[in-house]
Structures are given as C-alpha cells and as structure tokens.
Structure 1
Amino acid sequence: MTSSENDPVICSAKGCRASAEWVLAWNNPKLHTPDRRKTWLACSEHREHLSQFLGVRGFLKDVVALGDWQDAEQRPSAG
C-alpha cells in the first residue's frame, strides 16, 4: 500500500467514499507466493463485510488498524 501523505485513504468497498480505518491483508494462493500481501482498505462500516468476502475464499491473512499498518511500513526492516 503506497500513497502520499496528501492522498485520501478511502475504503475499498464498491461505492464507498468513507475514510479507511482498517487494512485487510490478503493473498490468493493460486496467484501469489505465500509471503505476498495485497491490501484492501476498509472503513468501520465495511470492515466485516470485506473480511468475510476474503475469508470465505481463504484469502484473508490479517486485519490491522490503518495507523498500525502505516507505522509498520515506515519501520526499517531487520536483516
């Protein structure tokens, strides 16, 4: 997930224009290596719906608060 500080962070639910509060990390094992993470963003209203959509397919790996996800991306990686 990349965006500049000035870009709005909007929910990924179709038609939703609300600010995102959650990051849903997922991967499709038929297409992605096990360590690859794609992300959807969710507002509080759509977090459960989007999580269920990914979870039913076995794609959902993690749900993290947006602020925590951004903090983790900015930390230098070990190794």
Structure 2
Amino acid sequence: MGWNNVVECIRNSDDLIAVFIGLEQENDRTLIDKLTQANKLQFVIPSQQELEKVCRRGLFQVDADYLRSQCALVLNT
C-alpha cells in the first residue's frame, strides 16, 4: 500500500489506533515519523485526551513514549 497511502487514510485517532493494531511493532515508530513529516499529528491527535487514548491502545510503552514526545512538539504540552 505504501506509507503515503497509509498516512492519507488516517483521519482521526480511531483510524490511527486501528493502523497501529495492524502494524508490526517495529513499524510503529516509522508511522509516527511519517505522520510528523506530513504535519498530520496535530489533526489526527488534536488534544492530550486523544493522545492518551491512542497511547493506551495498540502501542507498546516505548512507542507510546515516542508518540508523546512527538506530540509535545505540536500540542505544546
């Protein structure tokens, strides 16, 4: 499918959770990086509440911590 198509399909936090669940763990960080590069994190995860929802579902702790660090840059948390 390709990363660009995957990124385009993600419209909200529920979509992101579904994609994380379907990915192998080693690809979670790649997806986070692709969303960051596409400036989509702030749209897909617009709040701290949504961020915590995504981190609780479908991510290992190390990847959840990485996602939080990337979101901190765009959410100013």
Q: Is the shorter-chain TM-score for this pair beyond 0.5, marking a shared fold?
A: no
- Taking structure 2 as the reference length, the TM-score comes to 0.33
Q: Which has the higher contact order (CA 8 A, sep 6+)?
A: 2
- Taking structure 1 as the reference length, the TM-score comes to 0.33
Which of the two has higher C-alpha Rg? 1
